[in-house]
Amino acid sequence: MVRDLRNELKQTRPFKSLAQEAYLSLQRTAGLLEHELELALKPSGITATQYNVLRILRGAGPGGLCRGEIGDRLLRPVPDVTRLLDRLESSGLVERARSGHDRRYVTTRITRAGLKALDDLEGKIDAAHDRQFAHLETSRLKTLIGLLGFVRDR
């Protein structure tokens, strides 16, 4: 049986609209999924947002990316990408270098330590995702992905 959001939240009054219920359901679901991801990441000392940055930089390859490009690719926007990169750099997981021709342009690259951290975490994260979605068959997962894409497309 599908969980009823009103009961889950112990809310006695009906939602104002289906749109409100859909929004709150998305937020509740995202919060629960992210909490489980944070628990898997906690022993490593890396947050979900830092993990996201490391994945982005691994995907960018040896060329790296500038701060703005990293910010544009984050799953959840953050107000201060510079400070986020400062913490990753001080941990030795990324490195930054200024461009020779334009000193304002700073390229961020993942380090070997950052790649190793991702490799070490990959199994835990994959297992968490498997647990989170194991009860959904492939067709329902594809439907969910498609519906969420429609929501983002508005």
CATH code of the domain in which 95 resides = 1.10.10.10
Does residue 62 lie within any of the structural domains? Answer: yes
For residue 90, give its domain range: 35-121
Does residue 84 lie within any of the structural domains? Answer: yes
Q: Does the pLDDT of residue 63 top 80, yes or no?
A: yes
The number of folded domains in the chain is: 1
Q: Does the pLDDT of residue 103 top 70, yes or no?
A: no
- Partners of 94 in the β-ladder: 110
Rounded Cα gap, residues 37 and 127, in angstroms: 10
What is the pLDDT averaged over residues 85-103? 89
Does residue 8 lie within any of the structural domains? Answer: no
Rounded Cα gap, residues 54 and 68, in angstroms: 15
Window from 12-26, 45-59, 97-111 with minimum mean pLDDT: 97-111
Q: How do 106-110 and 65-66 pair as beta strands?
A: antiparallel
Whose tokens are 């594809």? That residue is 142
Reported as a pLDDT band with limits 50, 70 and 90, residue 1 is low
**Which pLDDT value is given to residue 115?**
97
Q: Mean pLDDT, the chain, as a whole number?
A: 92
pTM of the entire structure?
0.86
Does residue 116 lie within any of the structural domains? Answer: yes
Does residue 107 lie within any of the structural domains? Answer: yes
In 3D space, the residue among 60, 34, 64, 61 whose CA is nearest the CA of residue 49 turns out to be: 34
Q: Does the pLDDT of residue 2 top 80, yes or no?
A: no
Q: How do 94-98 and 106-110 pair as beta strands?
A: antiparallel
**Which pLDDT value is given to residue 98?**
86
